[in-house]
Amino acid sequence: MSTPNTAPAAPGPLLRMRDIHKEFPGVRALDGVSLSVGHGTVHALMGENGAGKSTLMKVLSGVHPAGSYTGEVLVDGEPVRFADVTESERAGIAIIHQELALVPQLSVSENVLLGHEVSRFGVIDWGATHARARELLLRVGLDENPATPVSALSIGAQQMVEIAKALAKRVRLLILDEPTSALNEAESERLLGLLLELRAQGVACILISHKIGEVMSVSDEVTILRDGRTIETLAVERDARGVPSVDEDRIIRGMVGRDLDQRHPERTGRIGPELFEVRDWTVDHPTRAGRRVADGVGLTLRAGEIVGMAGLMGAGRTEFAMSLFGRSYGRYVRGGLYRDGRALPVGSVADAIASGVAYVPEDRKSLGLVLDDDIRSNTTLAGLRRVSTRGVIDPGLETVEARRMSEHMRVRSHGTSQTVRTLSGGNQQKVVLGKWMFTRPELLILDEPTRGIDVGAKYEIYLIVRRLAAEGACVLLISSELPELLGMCDRIYAMCEGRITGQVSGEEADQETLMKLMTRTGDQP
């Protein structure tokens, strides 16, 4: 790989942030935070949702301009005051947000070199542009045709395009916010390997992630934030076997301010009789003729039971869940949902809700919330009849009900009039859960409910799910995290290529058994 075009490393750290304070109306987001990052190091920034990590990075990258905060930022020992993102990029600082900033309709080349196109006499030289883009793509280990539209790439490949785009700006400090949250295991390993390669080339990285194992595998130092304050910075050393000197429990204790003796709450309710059954559920891909995404799926759920669904990426779990929820995905072929042996109408989302079915989607921001609306509107959106009189919403009743549900879900906010976009990821997820619990569901389908959420918020979500099951509801929990399924579920189904390949009780399940089922094709047992 080519060596990055960077200035020689100056003595001392590349970055210092000293005593950073940042306030929003009624909230102190950063309260004297300090951070130091060395040249050519991977520095992890960890903390619960709302701890101040993203706010601190927005200060550093110029999203929050100089003058909107107090404190000092130094690059190579020199004070800097960025007025916007462009100025921070000129200093060699680039940030890759969790929501990728690519233009799907443009080619890989156009995205990588957007604003830095190679031109001659004011006209873009497409040959040179594609050649430069290919050089950058190879540097991040991505063998793609530069003319390929970004929309045709996987999420993992798009992440690599984002990093190539940053390298085009001669980045010296790369900030990655939850870069592996939407990646499968192979893509995550590839990205983490790239961070180590960039470190070897002298590029420093700040890694924001809730995946403690990933952080420990690549980081040289870890800074922990809690409630807008710097708690501590830990140096990560490794023995001859590569085992880090800092363990997960140490990180968690710093993040939440206490030990989490149990990652998953104990069961408090009892499992009742069989309540719901899915029979021969079969769905085709919405646009690809002949491609079956759910093939004869059958499963049962008992009252008060948490049933897990395991599968590798592409197994068809989300497609099945969305299609079951009012046929909101794919082309329905056959099959039915039954309650106490009686077929339920689920031909539309309205039918599904009326039948007592609720679905918390994997992508809470695009499919679960109206981000620019407040907590009140989002909470009551799926159950407007409960806050309406003669078809007209009663604002007072809506506020009361939204406040009650918000308190029940322990949403941390300034009140139900707060815009959902301004909440942390964990609190946004609680609003989504509250929206569907407001409909009083008997069957709640949860699709990756803790993705991108820290360990403290995860535990609170788990408590909510346990409480719902204890009240007699059925829960279908879809998760890519096998420890989550093993810790939460009474039974677990495995899916591969759109088919159920087996089930195992919670007591008998282990990761090896589930992995065998998740990679086994063939008929249902």
192-220: average pLDDT: 88
pLDDT-derived band at 258 (thresholds 50, 70, 90) equals low
Instruction: Of 88-92, 453-457, 490-494, give the lowest mean pLDDT range.
Output: 453-457
Tell me what pLDDT residue 56 has: 93
CA 61 – CA 78 distance, rounded (Å)? 16
Mean pLDDT for 151-165 is 83
For the record, the structure tokens of 486 come out as 């093993």
Q: Determine the average pLDDT of the residues in 305-323.
A: 90
Q: Binning pLDDT at 50, 70 and 90, where does residue 164 land?
A: confident
Neighbours of 282 (CB within 10 A): 19
Residue 346 pLDDT more than 50? yes
Q: Which residues contact 488 (CB under 8 A, 6 or more apart)?
A: 264, 306, 308, 462, 465, 466, 477
Q: pLDDT, tens digit, for every residue of 372-417?
A: 999 999 999 999 999 998 889 999 999 999 999 999 888 888 899 9
State both tokens at 425. 């990821």
Cα–Cα distance for residue pair 173/98, rounded to 1 Å? 17
Q: Is 30 helix (H, G, I), strand (E, B) or coil?
A: strand
Q: At residue 2, does pLDDT exceed 70?
A: no
pLDDT-derived band at 423 (thresholds 50, 70, 90) equals: confident
Beta strand 474-478 pairing with 443-447:
parallel
Higher pLDDT, 258 or 101: 101
Q: 450 falls in which pLDDT band (50, 70, 90)?
A: confident
| Mean pLDDT across 356-373 | 89
Q: Residues near 512 by Cβ (< 8 Å), separated by ≥ 6?
A: none
Strand bridging mode 229-235 / 42-46? unpaired
The whole-number pLDDT of residue 1 equals 39
Q: Please give the pLDDT value at position 362.
A: 85
Return d(Cα 516, Cα 332) in angstroms, integer.
29
Burial class (CB in 10 A: 0-12, 13-18, 19+), 494: buried
Q: Per mean pLDDT, which range of 96-105, 332-341, 509-518 is the poorest?
A: 96-105
pLDDT, position 259: 53
- C-alpha 521/C-alpha 509 separation (Å) is 19
| Cα-Cα-Cα-Cα dihedral sign, residues 208, 211, 215, 217 | negative
- Mean pLDDT, the chain, as a whole number? 87
Q: What is the pLDDT of residues 42-86, one digit of tens each?
A: 999 988 767 888 899 999 999 999 999 999 999 999 999 999 998
Whether the predicted pLDDT of 10 surpasses 70: no
Sign of the dihedral through C-alpha 463, 465, 469, 471: positive
What's the rounded Cα separation, in Å, for the pair 108 and 91?
Answer: 25
- Element (DSSP H or E) covering residue 393: strand 392-393
Q: Quick: pLDDT tens for 267-291.
A: 777 899 999 999 999 999 988 778 8
Angle 51-55-60 from CA coordinates, rounded to 5°: 130
| 497 has a pLDDT exceeding 80 | yes
Nearest to 428 by CA among 437, 420, 419, 417: 420
